[in-house]
Amino acid sequence: MSALPANALEASYLQERRRQLRQRLRRNITLTIDYGIMIGLAIFFLFPIVFMVVSSFKPEKAIFDDLKTITWAFIPRDVTLENFTSVFRRVPFGQFMFNSTFIVLATVSAGLIVNSMIAFALARLRWKGKIIVLSLIIALSIVPLDAIVVPLLVLVNEFPWIDGSIGWLDTLHVQIVPFIADAFSIFLFYQFFIGIPRDFDEAAYIDGGSPFAVYRRIIVPLSRPVFATVAILQALFLWSSYLWPLMATRGEASRPLTVGITSFYGQDVKWAQILAFASMITIPVLILFLLFQKWFVQSVVASGLKG
Amino acid sequence: MTRLLKLSIALLILLLLIMNAALTPAQDMVELELWYHGGTQEENDETRAQVDRFNAMQDEIQVNFVELAGSLVAGTGYNDAVNAAAVAGDLPCILDLDGPNLYNYAWAGFLAPMDDYLSDELRADILPSLIDQGTYNGKIYAMGQYDSGLALVGRMSLLEEAGLRIPSSIDDAWDLDEFNDALAQLQALESVEYAIDLKMNYGAGEWYTYAFSPVVQGFGGDLIDTETLSAEGVLNGPEAVAAMEWIRSLFENGYSTLTPPDDNEFINGNAAMGFLGHWMATGYYEAFGDDMIVLPVVNFGARQATGMGSWAWSITTQCEHPDAAWAFMEFMLTPEEILSITNVNAAVPGRLSALAMSDLFGEGGRMNIFVQQLESGIAIPRPITPGYPAVTSAFFTAMDNIIKGGDIQAELDAAVDKIEQDIADNDGYPVQN
Amino acid sequence: MKTSQYSNRHETIYAWLMSAPALIGLFVFVALPLLGGIYWSFTNKRLISPLPTEYIGLQNYWNLLGVQVIRLDPETDAATGQVQTDLDGNPVYPRTRAIVRGNPAYAGFRLWFTKDVLGNRYVVLARDPTFLRALVNTFVFVLVIVPGQGGLALIMALLVNQRLRGRYVFRTIYFSPVVTSMAVLAIVWTFLYNPDQGLINRFLGAISFGSIKPAWLVSADSALLAIIILSAWQAAGFQMIIFLAGLQGIPQALYEAAQIDGGNTWQQFRHVTIPQLRNTTVFVIISTTILAFRLFTQVDVMTKGGPQDATVTVVFHAVDTGFRQQKIGYGSAVTVLFFIIVVSIALIQRALLKSDVEVE
């Protein structure tokens, strides 16, 4: 690290002024380029979604006619709510929305407790076997759900439920319980917990707290960002799940949105209705994200998800 | 934070319990579950209405209509769900099945034969093609309200403009040369984009097998040997290769498109003709009125062949009340109910007595060609074998690859290998008793 | 120095108690199905069949991996012994099937591909060409998506990390596909990819005066590319957020020091950002790799692995054979092989990228 070059300090006012101008010009050019790229990327990332939403307000035939010119593809000429009313007429959209929301909320909230507790034990308690447990969890985080659906299906079909019935198929809990414990979430919690200074626990132990009390009073309050991050990641995963509910549910009573939309993609494809359905799934989540966006990025920053 | 979490968990569990309780049925009448594949919107509405009528007319049996989600066409959603349920031993009482899939389920022991329920009188009145379709190993396992019809449709005005001979019955159907010529003439018309809509928007799936195996048969080939169930030399023989070459030429010549955006290319006027199942015919008629004409299936040379077989109802072996299930089936098979659905989906009514009452399908009716096709024996059922799922999947995959540029002989050879492999994997599908 | 009143034994009890719910969940819903799959992979278990399940050892694995290469000799004229040629003067080869069929050494083998090397024609036979193709496709997908999507994500993160007006809006836009479910997006993109009527080709046609018109999902040449583009589009926003978190975790003082040293933007990027982002990058690479190996939903909704197996992936093949074709035993073997491959790659990556991201 060298000190400032001496000649810069001695530069005349004129030279300094010229340098500033040049710098400003350069900054403006980079700024223009940056915005150019950002807007280009924004178009790339947004056009399918904008097209989807705009088209959902068009009559079926107009979608195809308007495609002949690219501009009109993004502008609704005669706005209609027909597609949305058709969706509501054809399927219990509210029920699907409730199911999806309920599944996500239930799984995420239970998962936060279950996964953070084991991560606490792994990160901050001394016990035999924790290395093995940790390695197993990391190995299990690699198993893709799609690849174990068939054995899982056969398995849950044999399980009893609290109301005395046997077999979990075609229920909400079959979409919840298997996904509460999540290896990847445990790993994220673990990464965060291990970074919290030990001094905090020591103080609590001296005050006579149990390990569980340390978890609840010290670790959890210190770890809000990682809780938020895990919650969001799990919620996104669950909100999108597709193969499992397709196999494990039958009727509309327990059907989530992602399976609900496939019935529109069937024998008589009505694109306008599909797009209306898709828009109704997407927009609420987008609004939620827009509202909490700043906070979400901060959580990820603070959670150490970056590694 | 934790207190809040605990509270919300408790609330959620409570909610779950309440919902479970709410979903548990009352015990005072026989409840039957029925699974339905979806169908077109109109078909779906009418089938629901039929179930409602059955539930309303008596108070001992309650049929619960469950429409399974399934992207029938692009995917295999319905079959996926049925397979999943079969594995889990969670099949409903009454199951809606696309014709040829029943052999596999029947072989596996999931379907109950209904011969004992079927009176001689009823049996004599059922369309023979439906009996054939529903029979496996000498027993009847499924019964549909209707049979399907595959046909060529066109618009009279365009056919006349192109100066084509218009056949009126299956006996004077176009031959291959005439058909090729018709395609070329229609393609040349200013007012259309291409000559024929082949419904490729359905994607690689059952549609290919249903609609194009008759073309293979028309050229003298077949999917499998109906005696030995083997595909070697049949599906990859020179006749099948010729059929595939011709099918691919339709796309290469621009007579048809591989990627119609939706189901409406004929209605939109983009395509001059349509090759389609009966289920589209009503909509087409509404769009064009008497200008729409149903043409008999083309004679490709070796024989005249067309598709048949449709969705049918079956009773599963997991059903605890088969008698009640049959009571429902009997209701669905009354001529009135048959006509109420076929008037909506334009399928061929499944009973002779219903057929006689139908304006559409009766003698001189607009859809009479479909009946002629079924009665004259040119309609051929899809392979009657428990290995059907493998046969259809091998065929439609090969065809999809071929029309998208694959080597014809190699693809058909691969399809044969897959079918043979499947037979070997199942020890030759020994008959179970 | 541990001053806790709690002995090791107490800690152990607490540790197991607090681990129990998650361990039970993972054991029952992940490990058991996986163990079940491993067990089934040694049998011929079928989904719905009246036939009894039999133990068949490693047969499923041989059926997946079996490969043979044979050299084809051109047809020769029986009388003259001369090589027969077609109209273009190329030698005529016998149909592979004529050789393979009827020769017990090749029983169960199918044509995978042929390749002309140094004037000889070689035929590669496989017992399950689709599985091998799935392996190739999956690796291609991973090798393209990991650097491609990661690079795109890094660029986006750098752009929206600047104190520019509207950065929050851009972040939201780039992230928006992530919050939309893939099953839905795949349906929408199928529509966009329609070669004649789809928006993408309308646009490409407009800027190229109709000269660029890929068939996208309809052609074996472009289908995998189409899936790759959709996948990168959908997920890049996620990696962007992680990179953004990494960028914001870099102490501002480091940049200030670099500025004082007279470093320009590039030098700052090269000497501050890149080294500081090392851990983030490792995390992104490892997590993207694992996720990319799982490619399934897009393929299932859009192409079902076609055309000509161009988009078939390992997970798709596992589901297709194990569930749709009802061969659970066989599909389980695919899953087991998949698991072994991904674990090995994760281990190799960890070793190569060894850094302070270590677990312990």
Output the domain CATH number for residue C210.
1.10.3720.10
- How does residue C229 score in pLDDT terms, banded at 50, 70 and 90? very high
**Are C29 and A152 in contact (CB < 8 Å)?**
yes
Mutate to test the interface with B, among C99, C308, C321 (most CBs of B within 10 A): C308
Report the mean per-residue pLDDT for chain B: 87
Residues B167 and B304 in one domain: yes
What's the rounded mean pLDDT across residues A99-123? Answer: 95
Residues C81 and C229 in one domain: no
pLDDT digits (tens, 9 = 90+) for C328-337: 899 999 999 9
Q: How remote is the C-alpha of B155 from its chain's centroid? A: 25
Of C48, C50, C196, the CB nearest to B83: C48
Which A residues in the span 82-111 are in contact with C, Cβ-Cβ below 8 Å? none
Residues B144 and B194 in one domain: no
Residue B238 contacts C, CB cutoff 8 Å: no
- How does residue B22 score in pLDDT terms, banded at 50, 70 and 90? low
Q: Which residue of B has its CA nearest to C108?
A: B421
User: Which residues from A are below 8 Å from B199, CB to CB?
Assistant: none
- CB under 8 Å to B293, separation ≥6 — which residues? B153, B154, B155, B156, B159, B166
One-letter amino acid of B79: N
Q: Which residue of A has its CA nearest to C326?
A: A150
Residues B391 and B275 in one domain: yes
pLDDT at C118: 79
Residues B240 and B263 in one domain: yes
- Tell me which of C79, C100, C126 is where a domain ends: C126
What is the rounded distance in angstroms from the CA atom of residue C176 to the CA atom of residue C189? 15
pLDDT at B76: 57
Burial of C300 (0-12, 13-18, 19+ CB in 10 A): buried
- Tell me which of C126, C160, C194 is where a domain ends: C126
A48-52, C14-18, C101-105, C313-317: least confidently modelled range? C101-105
What's the rounded mean pLDDT across residues B400-406? Answer: 92
Q: What is the largest CA-CA distance in chain C?
A: 99
Sign of the CA dihedral C192, C195, C199, C200? positive
A13-27, B101-115, B165-179: least confidently modelled range? A13-27
- In chain B, % of residues over pLDDT 70: 91
Q: Which chains touch C (3 or more CB pairs under 8 A)?
A: A, B
> Is position B2 within any domain?
no
What is the rounded distance in angstroms from the CA atom of residue B41 to the CA atom of residue B37? 11
Mutate to test the interface with B, among A104, A154, A175, A267 (most CBs of B within 10 A): A267
User: Total domain count for chain C?
Assistant: 2
User: Total domain count for chain B?
Assistant: 2
Residues B293 and B328 in one domain: no
**Are A268 and B41 in contact (CB < 8 Å)?**
yes
CATH assignment at residue B232 = 3.40.190.10
Q: Which residue of B has its CA nearest to A63?
A: B261
**Are C220 and B404 in contact (CB < 8 Å)?**
yes
User: Which residues from A are below 8 Å from B77, CB to CB?
Assistant: 246, 262, 266
pLDDT digits (tens, 9 = 90+) for B214-252: 999 999 999 999 888 899 999 999 999 999 999 999 999
Q: Which residue of C has its CA nearest to B414?
A: C110
| 3-state secondary structure (DSSP) of residue B304 | strand
Residue B233 contacts C, CB cutoff 8 Å: no
**Are B425 and C95 in contact (CB < 8 Å)?**
no
pLDDT digits (tens, 9 = 90+) for B297-309: 899 998 889 888 8
Cβ atoms of C129 and C64 within 8 Å: the answer is no
Cβ atoms of C127 and C110 within 8 Å: the answer is yes
The alpha-carbon gap from B23 to the nearest alpha carbon of chain A, in Å, equals: 8
> Is position C44 within any domain?
no
The pLDDT of residue C138 is above 50: yes
The alpha-carbon gap from C212 to the nearest alpha carbon of chain A, in Å, equals: 16
Cβ atoms of A93 and A74 within 8 Å: the answer is no
Residues B253 and B238 in one domain: yes
The pLDDT of residue A245 is above 50: yes
- CB under 8 Å to B37, separation ≥6 — which residues? B67, B68, B70, B72, B78, B96, B98, B311
Which C residues in the span 8-27 are in contact with A, Cβ-Cβ below 8 Å? 8, 10-12, 14-16, 18-19, 21-26
Residues C215 and C82 in one domain: no
pLDDT at A305: 62
One-letter amino acid of B222: D
> Is position C159 within any domain?
yes
Residues B324 and B275 in one domain: no
Residues C102 and C164 in one domain: no
Residues C224 and C122 in one domain: no
Q: Which two tokens stand for residue B176?
A: 């291959």
Strands B146-147 and C110-117, by their bridges, are unpaired
* C-alpha distances out from residue A53 to A46, B81, B261, C109, C234, Å: 11, 30, 18, 49, 17
**Are A163 and B8 in contact (CB < 8 Å)?**
no
How many other C-beta atoms can be found within 10 angstroms of the C-beta atom of residue B52?
12
The pLDDT of residue A167 is above 90: no
Task: Give which of A283, A237, A247, A227 is closest to A104, Cα–Cα.
Answer: A237
Domain enclosing residue C206, as ranges: 130-352
Cβ atoms of B33 and B66 within 8 Å: the answer is yes
> Is position B5 within any domain?
no
The pLDDT of residue B158 is above 50: yes
Residues B278 and B396 in one domain: yes
**Are C249 and A306 in contact (CB < 8 Å)?**
yes
- In chain A, % of residues over pLDDT 70: 94
User: Which residues from A are below 8 Å from B15, CB to CB?
Assistant: 102
Residues C113 and C156 in one domain: no
Burial of A278 (0-12, 13-18, 19+ CB in 10 A): buried
Residues C83 and C178 in one domain: no
- CATH class of residue range A92-263: mainly alpha
The alpha-carbon gap from C100 to the nearest alpha carbon of chain A, in Å, equals: 33
pLDDT at B203: 81
The alpha-carbon gap from A21 to the nearest alpha carbon of chain C, in Å, equals: 17
What's the rounded mean pLDDT across residues A143-157? Answer: 83
pLDDT at A105: 95
The alpha-carbon gap from C350 to the nearest alpha carbon of chain B, in Å, equals: 35
What's the rounded mean pLDDT across residues C11-34? Answer: 92
The pLDDT of residue B12 is above 70: no
Which A residues in the span 96-115 are in contact with B, Cβ-Cβ below 8 Å? 102, 105-106, 109-110, 112-113
Residue B110 contacts C, CB cutoff 8 Å: yes
pLDDT at C357: 46
Count of residues in chain A: 307
> Is position C247 within any domain?
yes
Residue C18 contacts B, CB cutoff 8 Å: no
One-letter amino acid of C56: I
Cβ atoms of B196 and B275 within 8 Å: the answer is yes
Residue B101 contacts C, CB cutoff 8 Å: no
Residue C255 contacts A, CB cutoff 8 Å: no
Q: Which chains touch A (3 or more CB pairs under 8 A)?
A: B, C
- Tell me which of C80, C101, C126 is where a domain ends: C126
> Is position B241 within any domain?
yes
Residues B112 and B194 in one domain: no
Give the helix/strand (H/E) hosting B34. Answer: strand B30-36
**Are B86 and C307 in contact (CB < 8 Å)?**
no
Residues B169 and B78 in one domain: no
DSSP state, residue C91 = B
Domain enclosing residue B59, as ranges: 25-148+309-357
The residue among B150 and A147 whose pLDDT is bigger is B150
| Annotated domain spans of chain A | 92-263
Q: Which two tokens stand for residue B160?
A: 């006349």
> Is position C20 within any domain?
no
Q: Which residue of C has its CA nearest to B431?
A: C50
Residues C346 and C220 in one domain: yes
> Is position B10 within any domain?
no
One-letter amino acid of B232: E
- In chain C, % of residues over pLDDT 70: 96
pLDDT digits (tens, 9 = 90+) for C56-115: 999 999 999 999 898 888 888 777 778 888 777 778 887 778 788 778 888 888 888 888
Residues C121 and C145 in one domain: no
> Is position C5 within any domain?
no
Cα-Cα end-to-end distance for chain A: 29
Q: Which residue of B has its CA nearest to A245?
A: B81
The alpha-carbon gap from B123 to the nearest alpha carbon of chain A, in Å, equals: 31
**Are C25 and A114 in contact (CB < 8 Å)?**
yes
Query: Which of A80-94, B279-293, B327-341 holds the top average pLDDT?
Result: B327-341
A189-193, B18-22, B403-407: least confidently modelled range? B18-22
Mutate to test the interface with C, among B417, B427, B432 (most CBs of C within 10 A): B417
Q: Which residue of C has its CA nearest to A212?
A: C14
pLDDT at A130: 87
pLDDT at C24: 95
How many other C-beta atoms can be found within 10 angstroms of the C-beta atom of residue C58?
12
pLDDT at C136: 96
The alpha-carbon gap from C228 to the nearest alpha carbon of chain A, in Å, equals: 14
> Is position B114 within any domain?
yes
- How does residue B3 score in pLDDT terms, banded at 50, 70 and 90? low
Which A residues in the span 190-229 are in contact with C, Cβ-Cβ below 8 Å? 190, 202, 205-206, 208, 210-212, 215
Which C residues in the span 115-154 are in contact with A, Cβ-Cβ below 8 Å? none
The alpha-carbon gap from B84 to the nearest alpha carbon of chain A, in Å, equals: 6
Residues C109 and C193 in one domain: no
User: Which residues from A are below 8 Å from B39, CB to CB?
Assistant: 267
User: Which residues from A are below 8 Å from C199, CB to CB?
Assistant: 47-48, 51, 67, 70, 73
Query: Which of A233-242, B47-56, B279-288, C350-359 holds the top average pLDDT?
Result: B47-56
CB contacts < 8 A, B to C, total 93
Cβ atoms of A68 and A46 within 8 Å: the answer is no
What is the rounded distance in angstroms from the CA atom of residue B312 to the CA atom of residue C131? 35
What's the rounded mean pLDDT across residues A44-57? Answer: 91
User: Which residues from A are below 8 Å from B1, CB to CB?
Assistant: 220-221, 224, 227
| 3-state secondary structure (DSSP) of residue B365 | coil
The whole-model pTM stands at: 0.88
Residues C74 and C146 in one domain: no
Query: Which of A212-226, B332-346, C189-203, C220-234 holds the top average pLDDT?
Result: C220-234
Cis, peptide link before residue C307, omega less than 30° from 0: yes
Of B15, B69, B84, the CB nearest to A263: B69
> Is position C47 within any domain?
no
B2-23 vs A93-124: helix axis angle to the nearest 10?
A: 140
Burial of A290 (0-12, 13-18, 19+ CB in 10 A): middle
Q: Which residue of C has its CA nearest to A281?
A: C180
Residues C144 and C72 in one domain: no
pLDDT digits (tens, 9 = 90+) for A260-273: 887 776 666 778 88
pLDDT at C360: 33
What's the rounded mean pLDDT across residues A106-119? Answer: 96
